[in-house]
Amino acid sequence: MTLNVAVVGSGPAGFYTADALLKAEDPQVAVDVIDRLPTPWGLVRLGVAPDHENIKAVSRAFEKTAARSGFRFFGNVEVGSTVSHEELLAIYDAVVYTVGAQTDRRLGVPGEDLPGSWPATAFVAWYNGHPDFQGLDFDLDCERVVVIGNGNVAIDCARMLALTEAELAPTDTIDEAADAIAASPVREILMLGRRGPVQAAFTPPELKERGELAGAEPVVASADLELDAASRAELEADRERAHRNFDLLHEYAAREPAGKPRKIILRFLVSPVAILGEERVEAVEIVRNELVVEGGRIVARPTGETETIPCGLVLRSVGYQGVALPGVPFDERRGVIPNSGGRVDGAERTYAAGWIKRGPSGVIGTNKKDATETVELLLADARDGKLARVDSTQSLEALLAAKGAAYVEYAGWQAIDAVERAAGEPRGRPRVKLAAWDELLRAGRPN
């Protein structure tokens, strides 16, 4: 008998999970992938920077998964509102949550919610055409932007703000964002890392790109590259990321100014203590940190030496954060579904993979191994008879029809994809995204 599994979330973790399930032989599996959006691919469509078309190409592998027999897509279906976890358990033998991390981590400093202070996650969703983030008032009419955080999302945001009109033109950035970035008078994009250059979370290829932009140049102060003993030891131990980053930073610090219109300045060992302004963001107050070893980890400790940096926009890029799903266990502190290798603790026939399983870390490919681990446990449970066979007369499509809920099938996504690609073609762009809910649903539900 075929096992019926629902995979909730159609980003990389969802597609790697679906792929591993659909390839299984004992038992054979049919997979319904459910997403609250009418479009699949999650952060590959709506998170990966538009100028990283090569990274987005992973969606071709996901298309192959979608072409396998036993695969179905249900877009525009939100678990928690359209259908409940209990309803899914009544229809499917097992449910796998691959919903990612839906919101941002908070900084916890005064002024964080002033107009002009945004989570980087919202900025990313906006320029990528996420339908929940359109029409936001990202006012780029300022000379200095401060990006808080030293991860790849911070790097992406800083680079996007620095792209020229010609660099933006061949990408699928939404028009509103591309126009605002090209027209912005911004001259300085300042990235603030709370720890040192050795501890930066960004990766060498992303840092290298920073030195290759047409209209912006990287600026690093040599003094920021002086290392304490613990950081020197950490640098020696990490020949890959930290060492290559450090070499690049040295190269940037040694460069003569090229006079490009925008500068991306990297500063280290500073933390925001407050975001200042009357009606909206006017400045960020930062404190200088020193590094200390605590519990075997190098952490930042404030020195008390502060500085105020005027700016017009703040992007807080200190990590994503998982969100609880109604009826599904949740670890508030870690922002994940509590699980053991992907089996959800304290919930029957329920599994997790990707960021909602392990937290928001790693690159797209990391989710393949992660999903495989979960699927192996799920299949073992099925073989052990732990997944109670459910009443096969029930179906998701019947439940959705009874609720009057309009869903988008995979063919509907293919229709959206075709419309977007056709709109991009004459403009030399991979696609022009449909970014409004009504446009997406119109294109995705042709009948």
Query: Which of 151, 196, 277, 312 contacts ligand NAP by CB under 6 A?
Result: 151
Helices (H), 27-74: 43-46, 53-56, 59-66
Residue 360 sits in the site that holds ligand NAP (CB under 6 A): yes
For the bound state, the minimum distance from the C-beta of residue 425 to ligand NAP, rounded and expressed in Å, comes to 26
Q: Cα–Cα distance between 311 and 326 in angstroms, integer? A: 40
For the bound state, the minimum distance from the C-beta of residue 37 to ligand NAP, rounded and expressed in Å, comes to 19
Residue owning tokens 């591993």: 20
> Which residues fall within 8 angstroms of residue 328, CB to CB, at 6 or more apart?
85, 97, 337, 344, 347, 350
For the bound state, the minimum distance from the C-beta of residue 270 to ligand NAP, rounded and expressed in Å, comes to 9
Residue 195 sits in the site that holds ligand NAP (CB under 6 A): yes
Residue 44 sits in the site that holds ligand NAP (CB under 6 A): no
Q: Please, which residue, 83 or 163, has the CB nearer to ligand NAP? A: 163
Q: Please, which residue, 88 or 158, has the CB nearer to ligand NAP? A: 158
Q: Cα–Cα distance between 56 and 122 in angstroms, integer? A: 19
Own/partner pairs, 391-399, CB within 8 angstroms, 24+ separation: 391/90, 392/4, 394/90, 394/91, 395/91, 396/6, 396/32, 396/34, 396/74, 396/77, 396/83, 396/88, 396/91, 397/74, 399/83, 399/87, 399/91
Nearest alpha-carbon partner for 381 in 343, 339, 346: 343
| Alpha carbon distances (Å) from 183 to 137, 145, 162 | 15, 14, 11
Nearest alpha-carbon partner for 207 in 238, 170, 243, 173: 243
Residue 361 sits in the site that holds ligand NAP (CB under 6 A): yes
Stretch that binds ligand NAP, among 216-224, 282-290, 358-366, 388-396 (CB under 6 A): 358-366
Stretch that binds ligand NAP, among 75-83, 86-94, 317-325, 417-425 (CB under 6 A): 317-325
Q: Please, which residue, 148 or 265, has the CB nearer to ligand NAP? A: 148
Which of helix, strand or coil describes residue 430?
coil
Convert residues 80-109 into a mask of x (bound to ligand NAP by CB under 6 A) and - (unbound): ---------------------------x--
Nearest alpha-carbon partner for 185 in 308, 281, 313, 307: 313
Residue 363 sits in the site that holds ligand NAP (CB under 6 A): yes
Stretch that binds ligand NAP, among 64-72, 81-89, 143-151, 210-218 (CB under 6 A): 143-151
Q: Please, which residue, 4 or 271, has the CB nearer to ligand NAP? A: 271
Running DSSP on this structure, what letter comes out for residue 79? B
Convert residues 264-283 into a mask of x (bound to ligand NAP by CB under 6 A) and - (unbound): -------x------------
For the bound state, the minimum distance from the C-beta of residue 316 to ligand NAP, rounded and expressed in Å, comes to 8
Nearest alpha-carbon partner for 328 in 101, 96, 103, 100: 96
Residue 362 sits in the site that holds ligand NAP (CB under 6 A): yes
Residue 30 sits in the site that holds ligand NAP (CB under 6 A): no
Backbone angles phi, psi at 226, to 5 degrees: -80, 130
Residue 320 sits in the site that holds ligand NAP (CB under 6 A): yes
Residue 13 sits in the site that holds ligand NAP (CB under 6 A): no
Binding residues (CB under 6 A) for ligand NAP: these are: 107, 148-154, 156, 193-195, 199, 201, 206, 271, 317-320, 360-363
